[in-house]
């Protein structure tokens, strides 16, 4: 079966049925999680410093939830209304925008501390009409130019994508460089048909093209089938509280933050805060 971007425009391909099916697929959830963790590793953000990140092609919020788990704030943009509807139904915490990235972004200059994109920018390589503004070079130029303006100095953008040829990689990287970015391509597991992943690692400021592009992960395939484990993720899993267990996501501050978000969105029936909010119940046995 051909790739989705070769079948229909994203806003059509990801209709109501496909958006829900995509989000509920456990294999896709795992792939999104692994690639988002890898993108965060390549972003090389300072540890324990929450940042505001742009999730390009956020879909139903699968990657955004990983950003949240890692302690960051995020804004998501996507062209598919059905995907964003699923994200709203799932009550993700990021701010969501319906946006065709091929027309560029309208954010204030320097708004974001970094950007990620998982399996998205290859959609820009297909012209939907014969009009010049629909050509891949025009849309890519608009995308990279406005993305560059939206990022703080210094910062990085990590864009994972599926190219069909080296020519497509060269087209994308050349237009990104003309927009002002430094950086290059990182390829994980280049000798594995199944595990091979291509990341565009772009730099804003601090030397630009003089920065060293990270090395891709090597070998034939990941250690575990259908899963890629990364160093930063392993370190995160080692973090324990004093009792030797991982801290619960449902801690009091997390619950208060979630309730405040619901109130801002006008959701009805949000319980009032009290001294019992987030209290751990004692076992009954």
* Structural domains of the chain, count: 1
pLDDT at 244: 43
What per-residue string of b and e applies to 166-185 under the rule 16 or more CB within 10 Å gives b?
Answer: eebbebbbebbbebbbbbbb
Pairing of strands 197-204, 182-188: antiparallel
Residue 273 lies in a domain: no
Residue 217 lies in a domain: yes
pLDDT at 285: 41
Residue 119 lies in a domain: yes
Residue 270 lies in a domain: no
Percent of the chain with pLDDT over 90: 66
Q: Which range of residues forms the domain containing residue 93?
A: 4-239
Residue 85 lies in a domain: yes
Residue 247 lies in a domain: no
Residue 37 lies in a domain: yes
Are 147 and 176 a contacting pair, CB within 8 Å? no
pLDDT at 241: 44
pLDDT at 5: 87
Residue 93 lies in a domain: yes
pLDDT digits (tens, 9 = 90+) for 182-203: 999 999 999 998 899 999 999 9
113: three-class secondary structure by DSSP: strand
Q: How far is CA 68 from the centre of its chain?
A: 11
pLDDT digits (tens, 9 = 90+) for 9-30: 899 999 999 999 999 999 999 9
The CATH number covering residue 29 comes to 3.40.50.150
Burial of 163 (0-12, 13-18, 19+ CB in 10 A): middle
Position 131 confidence tier, pLDDT thresholds 50, 70, 90: low
Residues 6 or more apart whose CB falls under 8 angstroms from that of 27 comprise 226
pTM across the whole model: 0.78
pLDDT digits (tens, 9 = 90+) for 84-108: 999 999 999 999 999 999 999 999 9
Distance CA 164, CA 23 (A): 25
52: three-class secondary structure by DSSP: strand
pLDDT-wise least confident of 103-117, 193-207, 221-235:
221-235
Q: Which helix (H) or strand (E) holds 116?
A: strand 112-118
pLDDT at 263: 74
């Amino acid at each position: 079966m051909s790739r989705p971007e070769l079948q229909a425009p994203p806003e059509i391909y990801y209709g109501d049925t496909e958006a829900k099916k995509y989000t509920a697929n456990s294999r896709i959830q795992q792939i999104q999680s692994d690639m988002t963790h890898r993108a965060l590793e390549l972003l090389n953000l300072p540890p324990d410093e929450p940042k505001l990140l742009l999730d390009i092609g956020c879909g139903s919020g699968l990657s955004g939830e990983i950003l949240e788990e890692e302690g960051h704030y995020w804004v998501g943009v996507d062209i598919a209304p059905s995907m964003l509807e699923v994200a709203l139904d799932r009550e993700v915490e990021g701010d969501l925008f319906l946006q065709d990235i091929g027309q560029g972004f309208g954010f204030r200059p320097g708004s974001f501390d970094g950007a990620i994109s998982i399996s998205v920018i290859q959609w820009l390589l297909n012209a939907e009409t014969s009009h010049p503004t629909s050509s891949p070079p025009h849309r890519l130029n608009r995308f990279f130019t406005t993305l560059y303006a939206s990022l703080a100095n210094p910062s990085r953008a990590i864009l994972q994508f599926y190219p069909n040829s080296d020519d497509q990689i060269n087209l994308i990287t050349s237009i990104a460089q003309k927009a002002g970015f430094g950086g290059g391509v990182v390829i994980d597991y280049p000798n594995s048909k199944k595990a091979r992943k291509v990341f565009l690692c772009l730099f804003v400021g601090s030397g630009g093209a003089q920065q060293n592009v990270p090395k891709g992960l090597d070998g034939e395939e990941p250690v575990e089938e259908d899963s890629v484990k990364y160093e930063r993720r392993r370190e995160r899993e080692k973090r324990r509280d004093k009792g030797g267990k991982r801290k619960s996501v449902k801690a009091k501050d997390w619950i208060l933050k979630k309730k405040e978000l619901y109130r801002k969105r006008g959701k009805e029936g949000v319980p009032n805060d009290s001294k019992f909010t987030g209290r751990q119940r004692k076992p009954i046995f």
